[in-house]
Each structure stands twice: as C-alpha cells, then as structure tokens.
C-alpha cells in the first residue's frame, strides 16, 4: 500500500483529502501544518507528500524546501495544493523543489487522477 | 474563485462531500471568530505583519473550504476579502479603519451565509455592496469604498449553490462578468471558431479570448468571456453553432483555465510536462514523473478516461476504507442535546442522595467488623464527589463565551456615538452554568451599552476633564464564595446624586435628601427611570435598568451599584452558581433541621453569656472580633415549637451573603453534607426564608 503524507491546516480539507485518498486505497498520515508534517515525516517512508501552501508555522513551500534538503525525501514526489494558481506561486514551488501543484478547489476524482500520475 | 461545477462530478468519484460539511461549518465558524477578534485588536496605524497574515489565513482557509465544498457565495466573498488582505500583508495598501469596518461587516455577512447553508433558511444574503466596497479598496479607490448603497454595479446576490446561475462570477470594473466557456468535446475543434465570430459580429456582447491557444488535446475548447449578457442569452446564442450539452459556462477562475493541477517538468515524480491541466509537475524536480513523459501523455490527455477510471477504483476501495477513516476523523468536541446533560445531572442528584443515605445508615456499623464495607463506602463517597464535579462541569462554560461578543458590540457602538472606548475583560476563564450564561447575556449587554452611552463621555469632554481621551469599560468575572460576580466598570462620569434625586422627585418618587448613596443609586432601578439627558437610540428610552434588575433577580442574583461622580461607576451582578447539588451545613433547632449553604458559612461558635445584646428594644446583635452583626434566631423566625424549655439555642453560625454578615442562632451543628436542592417555588410555593428543600434520612 502506498503511503501519503497529507498536510493541511484546515480540518475539513484534511478530512476530505484523507478520506478521498483512503477510499482510493492509500495509507494516509495527516499533518496540521508544515512543522507538524516535518516532525511526522522523520524516519518514515512516504510515496507522496501532498501539502497545502498557506499554513501557519511552516507553509507548503517551506516544507518542500526542508524535505528536499533531507536525503530521505530527495526524490519523493511533493505536490502543493494551492488556491493561488498564479505563475509566481508555481515558480516558488518549482524553486523549492516541488514536483507539481494542484489548484484548490479540486474534486476528489481529480485528486486521485493527479496522484495516480505520480504514484505508480 | 470557486468552480462548483464538480458538485455533480464528486458523486461520480464515489465521495459524498456533504459528509465534511459539519466540520467545515465548525471550522469556518472558528475562523470567523478568530478573524473578528484579530480585526478588532488590530492597530491600523501600526499593523503587525503576523496579525495581517493571521487574518489573511482565516479568510483564505474559509475560502478554500467553501470553494471545495461548493458554497459559492461564501467563496466569492472570502475571495474578495482575501484579495484585499493579501494586498495589506504585502504592504501594497495601508490598512485603514474603513477597511477594518468593511472586513468586519463581511465577516457578519459570511456568518449569515454560513448559517443559511446550515439550514437556517432565509433569503440569500446580498453581498453586492460589500463586494463593491472591497473591490474599491483593492484598487485603491477609498471614495468608492465608502459604504454608499450601490456604488458600483456588482454581481447579483448569491443564489443557492446548486442553482444553475453563477453567483460567484468575477466582475470587471464596468460590471461585466468574466466567465469561462468550455465547448466540447467537439468533433472538429474549428466549430468553436464560429463562436468567436459571434463576438465579432454582435456589438456589445463582450469579448472572447481563446485560452488554450486554439489547441484542443481533449476535444475541449476553452475561452475567457467578458460579457454583460446573461447566461441564458449566451447559451441561446451559442446554441446556433454548438449543441447545448457541449456548452459549459462557469465563473472565470484565474488566468490559466486548466484542470486545476500541473507538474513541473523534470521535477521528482513529475509524470510529464503537461501544459495546462490545472496542475503541474516541475521538470527535474524530485518525484516528477518526467521520465515517462511520452508514456503518460496518452492517458492523461484523455481526461474523461482517466476520470472514469478513478471512480471505479475508489468506489471499490471505499467500503473497506470507510470504517477506518471515519474512526480517524478526530472529534475535538461532541455535541449533545442539553436534555441529555440535564438528565445526567438529575441522575447524579439521585446518586448523591443514595450515597448520602448509605453513609448515614452505615454510621452505626462497626468499622472493625465490616472494615471492607466501610472502606468501600468511603471510596463511594469520594467517587461520587468526583463524579459529581465532573458531571456539573459539563454544564459549565467560561465567561469568555459571553465576553467575546462585547468587543465588537462596543466598537460599533462607540463609533456610532462618536466616542473612544477600550474594553478590558478580566476573569474570562471563570465558569458559569450554561443556563445562566444564556440568561445573563442580555442584562450584561444592557449594562455595557449603558456604560458606553451614558457613562463614557465624548473625547472632547474627557479631555476637558483631564481624563484620557479613550474611556475604559471593564468587564470582570470572578468567583466569590458561592457566587459569581460579574462587574461592569467604566471610568466615565459616574452617577450624579443631585440629578438622580431631582429626577426621582420629578417622577413623584419618595426621595428625601437623607437617602444614602447606595439608596440613591438604586433609584435607577425604578421602572421608567432614565438619567440620560438626551434619549439616544442606543440605550433605549428608560426601559432598562429595572428590567435588568428584574431579570437578574429572576436568576436568584442581585445587582449592586457603586459610583463616584466624575470618576465612573461599577455595577456588580452577583449570581448564585446554580448548583442543583450543593454542600450544606445542617443545623438543628429544636426538633427541626435546616441546611445552610456551606459556601456562605464563615464560622460558628458557642455564644458566651451576655455577648448577645439587645438594641433598640427588638434587634439583637453580637460582637465578633470588634464587628457587630445582627443575630437571627431561627427558632423565632420559623416559629419552631419548643417542648424542652430547659434548652436554649446557644450556637451562632456566622453567614455571609450579598456583602453582609449575620449570625444565625441555632441549637446544634449536625454536620456537613451534600444536598440535592429542589426549588420550593417551582415545586411548591414561595416560602419566606427558605430557598429550597431537600430530602434527607
């Protein structure tokens, strides 16, 4: 079973994402912000990190940068969920080492569709 | 901006989004409350970056959820708020009080919108004026942002989410709507070009712009429309060229019309460099599935196929995953009907009685012979007490919940009255029974309003009196003995003795100069008594303080006033902690047993000879450590028949209540016990001197 680290400060989004992923057969670890995700990521293997961008303490881009700096997450796909679909945002994500982005709002089917592209 | 068109699609994905609604509503409510709190605290002249960020995040969070779960009107308003807040946090705009106002009002509108979606019903909330004002601020047009009605053409008021109309459509400054038009899947992509022609031919229809560069990988053509025409007009027009079911109109959701995700080419895990699917992978980024660009391109380009595949798989996995994930949905709070809690408390009461009975009956048991029984009963006693405390605490909620409504109210009020007022709250953590909290809110609101309206002077007047320009109203809650005291203090002009006396006489009340200050202050509780020289629409027209007092008295509470003319006043509301179960001290008078609330008992002692003195022929007092206090002889008060004339009451119990102390004369102290109190007035009738009855062995 593939495992996914889902990071979002909004409980409703987190639950929706988590439920969707679990329904599609993935194992999900939830984190409430970048800092929490960073702590939960330690020593564990994840096939994908799915993170919101705008969060307190540590945002999605900050988390991406941190994860990329760690050998364990050097090649892990990281997707940033964002309501800001501006190029600026995407470029910041790219610079931080993100694998891609997904614009919020998205529907569950779309989420699975995108994830299937990165987790094989 | 929201795209709610997936509402129906989500069902296809096998996931019912409505299961997350309640979490979303709760979360949105928390975010709104937090946003309001932050907005009220913000100092516009020196706004803190962190504060601005936090406010932004609140709006952002609500927007994200609202858009995802399909509450388009909420998403639209929060989107505009977010745009403004984003400019503020980036220092592209300077915050102003007017902006804070509009944001606060938007927060109110959001509350109403959310309440409506939660089934409160009612008309759709018209936010067009708010939206117009926010947009004006965003473009730096403070004049247009003034709260004038209909300053700019704005979108129609939000309609129910499921409706066909788009209520969250972005609008140009001239009032035209910006829409995304998707045509297809078309057999020949060129068919769409005839639609472009339409816009060239028909004057005033608006502008159309292809956003996919004329390419249609998936047979869908996408356009950005700017138009003043209605959806139905547009659909009719397009119908000449393209079948109705091939036309999708929705709010424009950003510069890039895309499926909503993308990969950065070459990024780790990125499947390919897919231009435009609304998501993206970065090339060479870790995890980007770049290596299989060609292989992945085919299925991903065929969106319908991929989308169709997902639901099937997810539906299959759903059943097994459901149980687990539902359990993992962490619930920080659970909501239960109050009746259930009350039932629990009632049962608790019965348990306390049973336990007390057991304890009493077991006194005659030989502790040596029945050691384990006695220790069991001791444990039962302790456990019952703990349980009772825990059960009672369910109904207790912090005063914070009451206090939290005042900053906003006071802010609005002060600006309406042209006054500067600061609110200080103390003792927010003090807990009060839920029932009391609900009932105390109105009287407190009235008192705070009074303080602001009649107490605090205008800034000019305050300056003239050498006071700080900004007045202070303090709300303080604290426990004092068995009661909770909530004080409303202000540093305003206080009550004027002369004015009150004059007013009282005008109204034909008996008001001799000999009245003590306290008695004069109490005059304002007389029905129809208002000291305001000008009746304002804020504090009503003289109905007020008497109602406040009556309401508080109905809760078993009292109101006390202190005032110093020119310096302010203090109104203290004293409420009993309505406990259905209380600790009592039972005292015996002749054959009868009375119970005093333990919390009001200060001390007890045996009276020495001649220490009780009779004054003025009838009253009796006792001196306790240089303090004289009235003596109340229970035998006399309740006319207890005494058969044993040899015996006289010789024990005094000093009790404190409502700020005064009295000594109660009794025969003997019988002990302390918990009693379940049943109100006599509700169950029987009012009996002077007795507040409640209990059952005892």
- A88 vs B475, residue with greater confidence: B475
pLDDT average, residue stretch B369-375:
87
| Structural domains in chain A (count) | 1
- Cross-chain Cβ contact A102/B260 below 8 Å: yes
Question: Is any Cβ of chain B less than 8 angstroms from the Cβ of A40?
Answer: no
- Please list every residue in chain A whose beta carbon sits closer than 8 Å to the beta carbon of residue B287: 48, 75-78, 99, 118
- B274 vs B97, residue with greater confidence: B97
- B198 vs B591, residue with greater confidence: B591
Question: Is any Cβ of chain A less than 8 angstroms from the Cβ of B295?
Answer: no
Taking 3-state DSSP, the helix, strand and coil percentages for chain B, each rounded to the nearest 5, stand at 45, 20, 35
Tokens of B258: 């895309």
- Please list every residue in chain A whose beta carbon sits closer than 8 Å to the beta carbon of residue B317: 22-25
Q: What is the pLDDT of residues B36-56, one digit of tens each?
A: 888 888 887 777 888 888 888
Confidence of residue B659 (pLDDT cuts 50, 70, 90): low
pLDDT at A105: 77
pLDDT at B472: 92
Element (H, E) at B409: helix B406-417
Residue A102: closest C-alpha in chain B = B261
Question: Is any Cβ of chain B less than 8 angstroms from the Cβ of A69?
Answer: no
Question: Is any Cβ of chain B less than 8 angstroms from the Cβ of A34?
Answer: no
Helix and strand totals (H; E) in chain B: 21, 26
For residue B60, which phi and psi values (nearest 5 degrees)?
-60, -45
Cα(A110)–Cα(B310) distance, integer angstroms = 8
Give the residue among B519, B545, B518 at the shortest CA–CA distance from B531. B545
pLDDT at B313: 40
- Please list every residue in chain B whose beta carbon sits closer than 8 Å to the beta carbon of residue A19: 15, 19-20, 321, 325
Domains of chain B and CATH, by start: 6-138 (1.20.120.160), 177-251 (3.30.70.260), 338-397 (1.10.287), 401-576 (3.30.565.10), 581-693 (2.40.50.180)
- Cross-chain Cβ contact B286/A113 below 8 Å: no
- Please list every residue in chain A whose beta carbon sits closer than 8 Å to the beta carbon of residue B315: 23
Residue B60: closest C-alpha in chain A = A54
Give the residue among B62, B13, B27 at the shortest CA–CA distance from B333. B27
Question: Is any Cβ of chain A less than 8 angstroms from the Cβ of B263?
Answer: yes
Is B586 in contact with B670 (CB distance < 8 Å)?
yes
- Cross-chain Cβ contact A103/B278 below 8 Å: yes
Residue A118: closest C-alpha in chain B = B269
> Does the pLDDT at position B9 exceed 50?
no
Cα(B583)–Cα(B676) distance, integer angstroms = 9
In this structure, the dihedral spanned by the alpha carbons of residues B485, B491, B497 and B500, taken in order and rounded to 10 degrees, is -80
DSSP, residue by residue, B362-394: GGGS-TTTTHHHHHHHHHHHHHHHHHHHHHHHH
- Please list every residue in chain B whose beta carbon sits closer than 8 Å to the beta carbon of residue A22: 317, 321, 324-325
Tokens of B682: 């509700």
- Cross-chain Cβ contact B68/A105 below 8 Å: yes
Q: What is the pLDDT of residues B152-200, one digit of tens each?
A: 444 443 433 333 344 445 655 556 777 888 777 766 666 677 777 777 7
Give residues with Cβ within 8 angstroms of B381, minimum separation 6: B355, B359
pLDDT average, residue stretch B84-107:
86
CA of B38 to nearest chain A CA: how many angstroms apart? 15
Report the CATH number that the domain containing residue A87 is assigned in CATH.
3.40.50.2300
- B106 vs B327, residue with greater confidence: B106
Range name among A65-74, B297-306, B656-665 with the lowest pLDDT average:
B297-306
pLDDT at B258: 55
> Does the pLDDT at position B306 exceed 60?
no
Tokens of B253: 């959701």
Is A67 in contact with A38 (CB distance < 8 Å)?
yes
Give residues with Cβ within 8 angstroms of B544, minimum separation 6: B446, B450, B530
Is B135 in contact with B141 (CB distance < 8 Å)?
no
The count of other CB atoms within 10 Å of the CB of residue B295 is 12
Exposed e or buried b for every residue in B446-458, given b needs 16+ CB within 10 A? bbbbbbbbbbbbe
Tokens of A103: 């614009």
- Cross-chain Cβ contact B261/A110 below 8 Å: yes
Q: What is the pLDDT of residues B313-352, one digit of tens each?
A: 444 343 334 333 433 344 467 777 878 888 888 888 888 8
- Please list every residue in chain B whose beta carbon sits closer than 8 Å to the beta carbon of residue A97: 267-268, 282, 285-286
Question: Is any Cβ of chain A less than 8 angstroms from the Cβ of B297?
Answer: no
Give residues with Cβ within 8 angstroms of B22, minimum separation 6: none
Q: What is the pLDDT of residues B494-551, one digit of tens each?
A: 888 888 888 888 877 777 888 888 888 888 887 766 555 444 444 444 446 777 887 7
> Could you report the predicted ipTM of this complex, rounded to two decimals?
0.81
CA of B46 to nearest chain A CA: how many angstroms apart? 22
Average pLDDT of every residue of chain B: 75
Scan for tokens 């509503």, then name that residue: B25
- A3 vs B690, residue with greater confidence: A3
3-class SS of residue B445: helix
CA angle B135, B139, B140 (to 5 degrees): 115
pLDDT at B289: 59
CA of A31 to nearest chain B CA: how many angstroms apart? 12
Confidence of residue B489 (pLDDT cuts 50, 70, 90): very high
The count of other CB atoms within 10 Å of the CB of residue B567 is 13
A16 closest CB neighbour out of B20, B271, B315: B20
pLDDT average, residue stretch B613-626:
80
Confidence of residue B617 (pLDDT cuts 50, 70, 90): low
Largest separation between any pair of C-alpha atoms in chain A: 35
Query: How would you write B98-164 as a 3-class SS string?
Result: HHHHHHHHHHHHHHHHHHHHHHHCCCCCCCHHHHHHHHHHHCCCCCCCCCCCCCCCCCCCCCCCCCC
Cα(B47)–Cα(B605) distance, integer angstroms = 61
Is A39 in contact with B30 (CB distance < 8 Å)?
no
Tokens of B426: 């103390």
Question: Is any Cβ of chain A less than 8 angstroms from the Cβ of B29?
Answer: no
Tokens of B338: 């109050």
pLDDT at B231: 76
pLDDT at B144: 67
Q: Which domain holds residue A90?
A: 3-118
- B328 vs B635, residue with greater confidence: B635
> Does the pLDDT at position B254 exceed 80?
no
Strands B471-480 and B558-564: unpaired
Cα(B47)–Cα(A43) distance, integer angstroms = 40
**Percentage of residues in chain B having pLDDT higher than 90:** 3
**Percentage of residues in chain A having pLDDT higher than 90:** 5
Question: Is any Cβ of chain A less than 8 angstroms from the Cβ of B556?
Answer: no
> Does the pLDDT at position A78 exceed 70?
yes
pLDDT average, residue stretch B650-660:
79
3-class SS of residue B397: strand
> Does the pLDDT at position B102 exceed 50?
yes
Tokens of B165: 């109309």
Q: What is the pLDDT of residues B259-286, one digit of tens each?
A: 667 777 767 777 654 444 566 676 666 6
């Amino acid at each position: 079973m593939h495992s996914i680290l889902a990071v979002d400060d909004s409980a409703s989004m987190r639950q929706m994402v988590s439920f969707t992923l679990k329904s599609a057969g993935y194992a999900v670890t939830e984190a409430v912000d970048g800092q929490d995700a960073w702590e939960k990521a330690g020593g564990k293997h994840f096939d994908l990190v799915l993170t919101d961008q705008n969060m307190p303490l540590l945002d999605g881009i900050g988390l991406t940068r941190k994860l990329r700096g760690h050998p364990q997450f050097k090649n892990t796909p990281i997707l940033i969920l964002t309501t800001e679909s501006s190029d600026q945002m995407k470029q910041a994500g790219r610079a931080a080492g993100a694998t891609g982005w997904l614009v919020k709002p998205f529907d569950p089917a779309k989420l699975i569709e995108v994830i299937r592209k990165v987790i094989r | 901006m929201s795209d709610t068109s997936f509402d129906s699609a989500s069902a296809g994905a096998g996931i019912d989004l409505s299961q997350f609604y309640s979490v979303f509503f709760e979360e949105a409510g928390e975010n709104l409350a937090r946003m309001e709190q932050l907005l009220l605290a913000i100092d516009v002249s020196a706004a803190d970056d962190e504060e601005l960020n936090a406010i932004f995040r609140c709006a952002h969070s609500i927007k994200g959820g609202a858009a995802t779960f399909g509450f388009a009107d909420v998403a639209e308003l929060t989107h505009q708020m977010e745009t403004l807040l984003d400019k503020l946090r980036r220092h592209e705009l300077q915050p102003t009080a007017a902006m804070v106002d509009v944001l606060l009002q938007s927060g109110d509108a959001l509350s109403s919108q959310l309440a409506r979606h939660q089934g409160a019903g009612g008309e759709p909330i018209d936010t067009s004026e708010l939206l117009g004002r926010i947009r004006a601020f965003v473009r730096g047009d403070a004049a247009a942002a003034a709260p004038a009605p209909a300053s700019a053409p704005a979108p129609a008021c939000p309609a129910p989410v499921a409706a066909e109309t788009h209520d969250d459509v972005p609008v140009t400054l001239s009032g035209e709507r910006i829409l995304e038009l998707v045509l297809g899947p078309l057999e020949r992509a060129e068919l769409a070009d005839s639609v472009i022609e339409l816009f060239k031919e028909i004057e005033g229809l608006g502008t159309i712009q292809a956003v996919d560069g004329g390419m249609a990988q998936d047979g869908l053509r996408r356009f950005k429309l700017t138009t003043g025409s209605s959806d139905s007009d547009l659909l009719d027009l397009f119908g000449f060229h393209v079948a109705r079911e091939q036309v999708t109109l929705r709010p424009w959701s950003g510069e890039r019309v895309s499926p909503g995700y993308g990969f950065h080419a070459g990024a780790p895990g990125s499947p390919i460099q897919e231009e435009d699917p609304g998501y993206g992978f970065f090339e060479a980024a870790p995890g980007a599935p770049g290596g299989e660009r060609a292989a992945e391109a085919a299925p991903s380009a065929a969106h319908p196929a991929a989308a169709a595949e997902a639901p099937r798989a997810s539906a299959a996995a759903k059943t097994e995953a459901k149980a687990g994930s539902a359990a993992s949905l962490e619930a920080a709070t659970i909501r239960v009907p109050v009746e259930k809690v009350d039932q629990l408390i009632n049962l608790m009461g019965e348990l306390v009685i049973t336990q007390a009975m057991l304890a009493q009956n077991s006194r005659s048991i030989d502790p040596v012979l029945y050691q384990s029984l006695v220790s069991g009963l001791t444990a039962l006693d302790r456990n019952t007490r703990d349980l009772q405390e825990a059960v009672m605490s369910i109904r207790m909620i912090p005063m914070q919940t009451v206090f939290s409504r005042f900053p906003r109210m006071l802010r609005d009020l002060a600006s309406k009255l042209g006054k500067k007022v600061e609110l200080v709250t103390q003792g927010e953590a003090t807990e009060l029974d839920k029932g009391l909290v609900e009932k105390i809110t109105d009287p407190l609101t009235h008192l705070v309003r009074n303080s602001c309206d009649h107490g605090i002077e205008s800034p000019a007047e305050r300056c003239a009196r050498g006071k700080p320009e900004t007045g202070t109203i303090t709300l303080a809650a604290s426990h004092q003995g068995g009661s909770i005291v909530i004080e409303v203090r202000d540093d305003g002009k206080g009550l004027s003795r002369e004015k009150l006396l004059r007013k009282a006489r005008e109204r034909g009340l008996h008001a001799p100069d000999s009245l003590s200050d306290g008695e004069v202050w109490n005059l304002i509780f007389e029905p129809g008594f208002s000291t305001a020289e000008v009746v304002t629409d804020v504090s009503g027209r003289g109905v007020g303080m008497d109602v406040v007092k009556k309401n508080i008295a109905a809760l078993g509470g009292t109101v006390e006033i202190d005032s110093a003319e020119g310096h302010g006043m203090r109104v203290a509301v004293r409420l009993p902690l309505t406990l259905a179960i209380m600790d009592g001290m039972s005292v015996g008078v002749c054959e009868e047993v009375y119970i005093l609330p333990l919390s009001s008992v200060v001390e007890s002692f045996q009276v020495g000879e001649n220490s009780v003195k009779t004054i003025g022929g009838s009253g009796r007092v006792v001196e306790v450590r240089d303090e004289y206090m009235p003596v109340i002889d229970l035998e006399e008060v309740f006319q207890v028949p005494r058969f044993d004339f040899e015996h006289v009451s010789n024990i005094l119990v000093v009790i404190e209540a409502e700020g005064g102390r009295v000594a109660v004369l009794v025969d003997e102290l019988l002990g302390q016990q918990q009693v379940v109190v049943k109100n006599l007035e509700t169950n029987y009738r009012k009996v002077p001197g007795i507040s409640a009855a209990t059952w005892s062995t």
